């Protein structure tokens, strides 16, 4: 993997790459799941590890960003709801790091090298598509969550966006990830529902509608940026390996259409979003 210089990993299998590659394509063409490093080419291994590490780092950084909201949530019922969401996210992170360990990756030494509590101090500029540190989290997880409206809008937007990305993982060619994602997916949908409950409540109340719109204006464009640019070479590689099923643009469109519908139901305005393709990263990422 090249993107993370402190994290050199390679397929631990003792079999020659050509043997593994042959076996891999046989299984992919037969619609069978890849189950172990012995069945992966070096390139498949690198791409798989890259995607799973992005998800793992995003889950952990996401959990830490939520922690203060256990204390700051508006009621004891909501403090418990936030604590449960934090627990879910740490569990998702642990599940993903365990999958990486099964590939021979020392995830604890990777985690020890990064500050997952780090957030950007924004004065004016948005990150757009830039990264802010050398962990592998999706860049939306570098932004601070400053208000309760931010917290619930993050779930409305980002958990929903992640859910659309995870739809592809549910059909992944890598069996262990595909099986693990089912429970994660169900929990992410509960987070989306929590966000929907609050965004609807705020949007339909005249005293909080503006606050909801302001939070949407902040988090919707940031979420639209997570999907990556259309028709990238990398996306083609992921699709060829069965690690993704759709083009980045299709996933983004399915997210946008769902948000547009909710906005029209609840009287919110869908914010403008313009892609900045010259700056965007190629990977197109997965997180929750």
Contact set with Fe ion (CB under 5 A): 59, 89, 92, 159, 188, 191, 288
Closest approach of Fe ion to the CB of residue 55, in Å = 8
Nearer to Fe ion by C-beta: 34 or 181? 181
- Backbone dihedral region for residue 65 (phi beyond 0: left; psi -120 to 50: alpha; all else: beta): alpha
Residues near 60 by Cβ (< 8 Å), separated by ≥ 6?
89, 90, 93, 111, 116, 137
What residues pair up with 34 in beta bridges, in sequence order?
174
Closest approach of Fe ion to the CB of residue 81, in Å = 12
Nearer to Fe ion by C-beta: 46 or 188? 188
**Which of 105-144 are b and which e, b meaning 16 or more Cβ less than 10 Å from the residue's Cβ?**
bebeebeeebebeebeeeeeeebebeeeeebbbbbbbbbe
H helices within the chain, ranges in order?
A: 17-29, 42-66, 68-72, 76-102, 107-112, 148-154, 160-169, 175-204, 209-224, 233-240, 248-266
Residues near 217 by Cβ (< 8 Å), separated by ≥ 6?
271
Nearer to Fe ion by C-beta: 87 or 113? 87
Closest approach of Fe ion to the CB of residue 155, in Å = 7
- Give the residue nearest to Fe ion (CB): 288
Nearer to Fe ion by C-beta: 94 or 239? 94
Nearer to Fe ion by C-beta: 4 or 89? 89
Helix (H, G, I), strand (E, B) or coil at 50: helix
Closest approach of Fe ion to the CB of residue 35, in Å = 24
Closest approach of Fe ion to the CB of residue 28, in Å = 27
Residues near 194 by Cβ (< 8 Å), separated by ≥ 6?
81, 85, 152, 155
Closest approach of Fe ion to the CB of residue 122, in Å = 22
Nearer to Fe ion by C-beta: 160 or 252? 160
């Amino acid at each position: 993997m090249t993107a993370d210089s402190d994290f050199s990993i390679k397929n631990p299998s003792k079999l020659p790459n050509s043997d593994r590659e042959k076996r891999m394509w046989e299984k992919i063409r037969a619609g069978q799941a890849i189950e172990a490093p012995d069945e992966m080419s070096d390139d498949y291994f690198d791409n798989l590890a890259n995607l799973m590490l992005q998800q793992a780092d995003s889950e952990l950084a996401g959990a830490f960003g939520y922690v203060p909201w256990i204390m700051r949530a508006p009621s004891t019922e909501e403090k418990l709801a936030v604590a449960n969401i934090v627990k879910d996210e740490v569990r998702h992170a642990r599940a993903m790091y365990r999958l990486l360990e099964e590939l021979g990756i020392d995830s604890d030494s990777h985690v020890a090298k990064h500050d997952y509590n780090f957030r950007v101090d924004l004065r004016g500029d948005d990150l757009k598509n830039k990264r802010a540190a050398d962990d592998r989290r999706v860049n939306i997880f570098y932004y601070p969550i400053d208000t309760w409206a931010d917290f619930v809008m993050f779930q409305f937007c980002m958990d929903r966006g992640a859910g659309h990305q995870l739809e592809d993982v549910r059909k992944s060619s890598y069996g262990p990830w595909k099986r693990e994602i089912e429970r994660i997916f169900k929990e992410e949908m509960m987070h989306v529902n929590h966000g929907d409950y609050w965004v609807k409540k705020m949007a339909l109340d005249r005293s909080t509608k503006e606050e909801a719109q302001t939070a949407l204006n902040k988090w919707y464009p940031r979420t639209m940026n997570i999907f990556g640019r259309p028709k990238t070479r990398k996306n083609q590689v992921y699709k060829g390996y069965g690690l993704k099923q759709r083009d980045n643009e299709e996933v983004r469109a399915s997210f946008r259409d769902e948000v547009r519908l909710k906005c029209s139901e609840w009287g919110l305005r869908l914010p403008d979003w313009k892609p900045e393709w010259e700056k965007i990263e190629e990977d197109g990422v997965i997180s929750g």
